[in-house]
Amino acid sequence: MKLVHVDNKNRRAFVNFYKKQYLNDPLKRDSLSGLVKGLIYGKSELCKSVDLEPLMVVDDDKIVMICMLAFAYRMSDYIQIGFFESEELNMDAFKLIMDRAEKMARQKGASKISASLNIHVNYGLGFLAGDYDKKQSFGMAHNPEFIHKYFELNGFKAIEMVSYKKDMKNVDELLSSDVRKRLETRYNVRPADLSNLKHECSIYTDVNNQSFGDHLFYYPRKKEEDYELFKDLKFLLKPENLLFAEKDGIPVGFMLWYPDFNQLMKPSETVGLRTVIKNKLFSGKINQFKIVEMGVIPGERNKGAILALFDYCFKCTKGKFHNFESGWILSENTKSKNFGIKWADCESKHYKAYIKELSDEQV
């Protein structure tokens, strides 16, 4: 068994192994292999701000495990074990990756190793930690249960996360007419102008960076990175999927939501042009939408901007979907959790991210 560094000769094998974990599985859908390929081939905007070491563990010429070790310049305390995939539990293979991650940490002066963060939270955080028999929703993780043993048995601390679900039948009861009127006098909520995508992405980046500056796994984004992300999604999205809350003409909050595109995809498909065409022709077959991300700048929190965004979103989705699912929320984020508990019907799924603090001898 040996650790192999991915280069031009074997990068296709890396991408194919990644795709193999998702294709033709009735519970999973492949939504990230395009990003993986962009990173491996050096074509993603992210490559300008991160040192990547794509790795494979090979046993008798068979790939048994892959990951990308990543050192993001704006998150310099961490070496990330991202895009981690393993077909079966193999601690010997994982030890090879851990040894290399610790060595990379010493080289970079990093003091922690993270697992499940895919370079930035916008591309994925958290391993599924329950409901392994349920289908994967768009933008969320799905993995074997044994994945957690790699980290639980190697000194990592688990960071708990939860998503929430709500039936759309009773959304009218969430806001009284008086509250709605007060919100309308305070905030203007508008959909994004996708014909001016670069400008709208710039606003998204600014509000995002202000809203999540104190988030455990977040680091500031560059406008070029978010533009690349939305440019890839542009033909799947409608203006109403990216909402901005404005106060006196200044953006103070945002919400990103979209239909659960996984419901349109077959197990053999990778998200792409076919998904776009199906979304145009058969969007009525999607009965769930995802509230992926929302944030409000510090000075406007607890003043109703979140409620205004929810209210506008529910107007857009009323009668079109049976339910919605939130993205993951850190269990330590009590304000967001309380909001989910109050507004949602129930918890949906649980996820775990991992962090390992390195000792002075390891660094």
DSSP labels for 20-64? HTTTT-TT--B-SHHHHHHHHTT-SGGGGGEEEEEEEEEETTEEE
Q: What string of DSSP letters covers 181-240? A: HHHHHH-EEEE--GGGHHHHHHHHHHHHHHHTTT-TT--PPPHHHHHHHHHHHGGG--GG
| Beta carbons of 278 and 209 less than 8 angstroms apart | no
Q: pLDDT value at position 342?
A: 67
Q: How far apart are CA 320 and CA 225, in angstroms?
A: 31
Is the pLDDT reported for residue 204 higher than 70? yes
Whether the predicted pLDDT of 361 surpasses 70: no
Tell me the HSE value of 34 on the side-chain side, using a 13 A CA sphere: 14
Which tokens in the block code for residue 102? 């610790």
| Cβ contact 275:236 at 8 Å | yes
In this predicted model, what pLDDT tens digit does every residue of 153-202 receive, in sequence order?
999 999 999 999 989 887 766 778 888 889 999 999 999 999 999 999 99
Residue 172 buriedness (CB in 10 A; 0-12 / 13-18 / 19+): exposed
| Contact of 314 with 171, CB cutoff 8 Å | yes
- Predicted confidence band at 337 (pLDDT cuts at 50, 70, 90)? low
Tell me the longest C-alpha to C-alpha distance in the chain: 69
* Residue-level pLDDT at 271: 83
What pLDDT, on the 0 to 100 scale, is given for residue 32?
Answer: 93
Q: Are 295 and 213 in contact (CB under 8 A)?
A: no
- Which residue, among 93, 121, 56, has the nearest Cα to 292 in the 3D structure? 121
Q: In the numeric block, which tokens belong to residue 325?
A: 């699912």
> CA 5 to CA 57: how far, in whole Å?
9
**CA pair distance 70, 118, nearest whole angstrom:** 8
| Structure letter (DSSP) for residue 359 | P
| pTM of this structure | 0.93
Q: What is the pLDDT of residue 259?
A: 93
Q: Is the pLDDT of residue 26 over 90?
A: yes
284-330: pLDDT as tens digits: 789 999 999 999 999 999 899 999 999 999 999 988 999 999 988 88
The answer on pLDDT for 87 being more than 80 is yes
- What single-letter amino acid sits at 321? F
Q: Which two tokens stand for residue 158?
A: 């688990």
